[in-house]
A and B are shown apart, each in its own frame.
Chain A
Amino acid sequence: MRLRPPARALLVATAVAILGVFPLIFSSPTSTSIAVFTLIFMVAACAWNMFAGSSGYIALGHAVYFGCGAYTLTLLANHLGFAAGWGVFALVPVAGIVAGLIAVPTGLIALRARRHTFVVITIAFMFIFQLAAFNLGFTGGSSGLQPPTPLWSVDTYNLNFYYVTAVVLLATFVLTWLVRRSRFGLQLLSIRDDEERARGLGVRVARVKLSAFVLSAIPVGMVGGIYAYFLGQIFPQFAFDPLFDLSIALMAFIGGLGTLVGPLLGALVLESLQQYFTVQYGSSQAYLIIYGALFLVVVLLLPRGVIPSLEELISRARAEPPEQGPEEPGRTADTIEAVR
């Protein structure tokens, strides 16, 4: 939505304020725990969208980086003798960096292919890492690993995790916003629209794609680490979960692929719903049906996602009254600014 800068600033300030006070208002452990999971998925969907939404390469293997982040934090905390508490959070950026490093070779291989083949290779990587986590010695196999558990009271436990994840979310959002405004972001969009032409126009296609891929893996690795620490245990099938890949893609799609806010909105709705269902009905399977059905409805009714479809509605409503003419110069200036 092309809001004017003051309106946009106001919107962002409100969102940040809500993010800040939410756990103070809804302070029951159930709702703060749901909020932590929701924030984790908001980060993942936002970061995934920075690569997949902008470049049009639908990666379905970001669970690799989520799981690597989770195992990195757990292994480092255990082997370096970190005491349970705030100190372990210092490993969250490390988890992100390790995930980014792993994204370099995997991205190099996967990005040689396009379209279906790319998607399938990313899925293949996911299964290779899951297999490795099950069978390598240092991962603890199917019995998983336990990071140290902090001895905070239930309320502070959730609050601490909430605010750490909220900081990661803000950083990720700022990162995607900066990418979107930059030359680099435009190069990514040009790859989505026509990769051959972008190459012809001098975009270093391979380098741009790989950088975006690695950049999007880092926040996913960070929340992977937070996830492991928050749960207090990590198993291969949850660290490298095919449903994770699908979930973040659905979140981005439902909100609006390639938009800044869409994935956040999608994750906010889907993850909190899913957690609510799990808590309320104790059913881990019934939500699969709702999840899939919801997605099919969105694809069939709002094929471009909620945010772009809303935008279309609003701009159509705006375009109707003729006295809206003076709006146009402002919008053009905005567009020029965006292109620049």
Chain B
Amino acid sequence: MSASSLAKAVVDGILTGGVYALMAAGLTLIFGVMDIINIAQGALIVLGAYMSYVLSVHLGIDLFVGLIITIPAFFVLGVAIEWAFMRRLREQDRTAMSILVTYAVAIIIEGLLSVIFGVDYLQLRASYVDSTFHILGFYLPYIYVFGFLLAIGLLGVLYWILYRTHFGRGVRGSLQNRTAAELIGVNVNRVRAVSVGIGVAVTAAGGMVFGATNAFNPSSGYDLISRLLSIVILAGLGSIAGALVAALFMVTLEDVVAVVWSPVWATLVYYASLIVVLSFRPGGLFGSAAVRAQ
């Protein structure tokens, strides 16, 4: 283990962590507003990667330009999923049912992708995916930096929507107390639909960056969702700022463990830290009091 490989692990972890933060923010937003864990988030990210693949290979559209098409498309998809499945669940057994319903959505997506594209691994290609630059004694593809900047930009947009718009106030109100928000005139159904739309829309961008930095196939979603779930549960469900911190921390920790110990055991840090933290703080590190009380 050299200082350079450790530095590479940290830089790599922070850059990748930014993208995970974006994807985790979407997951935790959906949870906060809907009280639903969207297991399909992983499959949606993979779907996003395939959409970018189709646009870039078959239509020759640049990966980042393609997002102008895929992000709105995924927003609509999210609203449709909310309308078709999530809205119809009854309040009393929502926890259990929502996990199973979104799991079912995930395997339908996985099935469709395997039938259409097969199960071979693909990776997104572009000039900035293949070319690298030199920093701190190692080489890094440009896509890591571009992906990180994209994630930061979209998180900024998310922040602006949530904290600077009237709609965002409704979302935050619904996060804190659904009934009270409804009583003061927030259209909770609309807030929920749009929040799920936003939560799904970010997976289009996350999927593109994931697909450019990793080889993926239709079942890559399991790996992603288990990491993202660990991140958002560790942070405390519903806490967006917590998800950002936890994503950066966990992904960096994973990369460092891969260098210091062994790459095959690196993902263990997610599950192990999840179990350790929850044994002492069942609500997660930044969980709100309301979530903890449930």
Residues of A within 8 A of B (CB): 56, 58, 60, 109, 112-117, 119-121, 123-125, 127-128, 131, 134-135, 242-243, 246, 249-250, 253, 257, 283, 285-293, 295-296, 299-300, 303
Q: Which 5 A-B pairs have the closest CB atoms?
A: A288-B111, A292-B108, A285-B114, A289-B111, A124-B271
- Measured CB to CB, the closest approach of chain B to A40, in angstroms, equals 20
* Cβ–Cβ < 8 Å partners of B212 in chain A: none
* Cβ–Cβ < 8 Å partners of B2 in chain A: none
* Cβ–Cβ < 8 Å partners of B105 in chain A: 292, 296
**Who on chain A is nearest to B266 by CB?**
A131
User: Using a CB-CB cutoff of 8 Å, which residues 268-291 of chain B contact chain A?
Assistant: 268, 270-272, 274-275, 278-279, 282, 284
A58-B96, A131-B268 known; A124-B104 Cβ under 8 A: no
**Who on chain A is nearest to B113 by CB?**
A285
* Cβ–Cβ < 8 Å partners of B110 in chain A: 285, 288
* Cβ–Cβ < 8 Å partners of A242 in chain B: 222
- Measured CB to CB, the closest approach of chain B to A248, in angstroms, equals 11
- Measured CB to CB, the closest approach of chain B to A247, in angstroms, equals 10
- Measured CB to CB, the closest approach of chain A to B147, in angstroms, equals 25
Asked if B230 is an interface residue, CB under 8 A from chain A, the answer is yes
* Cβ–Cβ < 8 Å partners of A296 in chain B: 85, 101, 104-105, 108
User: What would be 16 A-B contacts, judged by CB atoms less than 8 Å apart?
Assistant: A112-B282, A117-B282, A117-B284, A119-B95, A120-B230, A124-B270, A131-B264, A243-B107, A257-B96, A285-B119, A286-B111, A286-B115, A288-B108, A289-B108, A299-B89, A303-B89
A114-B294, A117-B282, A124-B275 known; A299-B95 Cβ under 8 A: no
* Cα–Cα distance between A123 and B229 once the two chains are bound (Å): 9
Of B96, B107, B278, which contacts A113 at CB under 8 A?
B278
Asked if B58 is an interface residue, CB under 8 A from chain A, the answer is no
A124-B226, A250-B104 known; A116-B37 Cβ under 8 A: yes
Of A116, A134, A243, which contacts B237 at CB under 8 A?
A116
Of A125, A249, A250, A287, which contacts B271 at CB under 8 A?
A125
Specify which of B106, B111, B237 lies most central, judged by the most chain A CB atoms within 10 Å of its CB: B111
A117 B265 Cβ-Cβ under 8 A: no
**Who on chain B is nearest to A243 by CB?**
B107
Of B95, B119, B230, which contacts A58 at CB under 8 A?
B95
Asked if B123 is an interface residue, CB under 8 A from chain A, the answer is no
A120-B37, A121-B275, A289-B108 known; A131-B265 Cβ under 8 A: yes
Asked if B240 is an interface residue, CB under 8 A from chain A, the answer is no
Asked if B99 is an interface residue, CB under 8 A from chain A, the answer is yes
A58-B95, A134-B264, A285-B114 known; A291-B100 Cβ under 8 A: no
Asked if B166 is an interface residue, CB under 8 A from chain A, the answer is no
Asked if B145 is an interface residue, CB under 8 A from chain A, the answer is no
- Measured CB to CB, the closest approach of chain B to A316, in angstroms, equals 19
- Measured CB to CB, the closest approach of chain A to B170, in angstroms, equals 23
Asked if B249 is an interface residue, CB under 8 A from chain A, the answer is no
**Who on chain A is nearest to B109 by CB?**
A292
- Measured CB to CB, the closest approach of chain B to A193, in angstroms, equals 10
Of A115, A250, A299, which contacts B294 at CB under 8 A?
A115
B279 A292 Cβ-Cβ under 8 A: no
Of B97, B111, B270, B279, which contacts A285 at CB under 8 A?
B111
* Cβ–Cβ < 8 Å partners of B104 in chain A: 246, 250, 291-293, 295-296, 299
A109 B100 Cβ-Cβ under 8 A: no
Of A243, A257, A283, A299, which contacts B101 at CB under 8 A?
A299
- Measured CB to CB, the closest approach of chain A to B69, in angstroms, equals 25
A286-B111, A300-B85 known; A135-B100 Cβ under 8 A: no
B114 A119 Cβ-Cβ under 8 A: no
Asked if B157 is an interface residue, CB under 8 A from chain A, the answer is no
* Cβ–Cβ < 8 Å partners of A119 in chain B: 37, 95-96, 99
A285 B108 Cβ-Cβ under 8 A: no
B99 A288 Cβ-Cβ under 8 A: no
* Cβ–Cβ < 8 Å partners of A134 in chain B: 264
Asked if B65 is an interface residue, CB under 8 A from chain A, the answer is no
Of A56, A113, A127, which contacts B282 at CB under 8 A?
A113
Given contacts A119-B37, A123-B226, A292-B111, 16 further A-B contacts (CB under 8 A): A112-B282, A115-B294, A116-B95, A117-B278, A117-B282, A119-B99, A125-B275, A135-B264, A135-B265, A250-B100, A285-B111, A288-B111, A299-B101, A300-B85, A300-B88, A303-B89
**Who on chain B is nearest to A285 by CB?**
B114
* Cβ–Cβ < 8 Å partners of A249 in chain B: 100
A246 B103 Cβ-Cβ under 8 A: yes
A288 B107 Cβ-Cβ under 8 A: yes
B99 A291 Cβ-Cβ under 8 A: no
- Measured CB to CB, the closest approach of chain A to B294, in angstroms, equals 6
Asked if B149 is an interface residue, CB under 8 A from chain A, the answer is no
* Cα–Cα distance between A155 and B106 once the two chains are bound (Å): 38
- Measured CB to CB, the closest approach of chain B to A120, in angstroms, equals 5
B222 A287 Cβ-Cβ under 8 A: no
* Cβ–Cβ < 8 Å partners of B119 in chain A: 285
* Cβ–Cβ < 8 Å partners of B284 in chain A: 117
B115 A121 Cβ-Cβ under 8 A: no
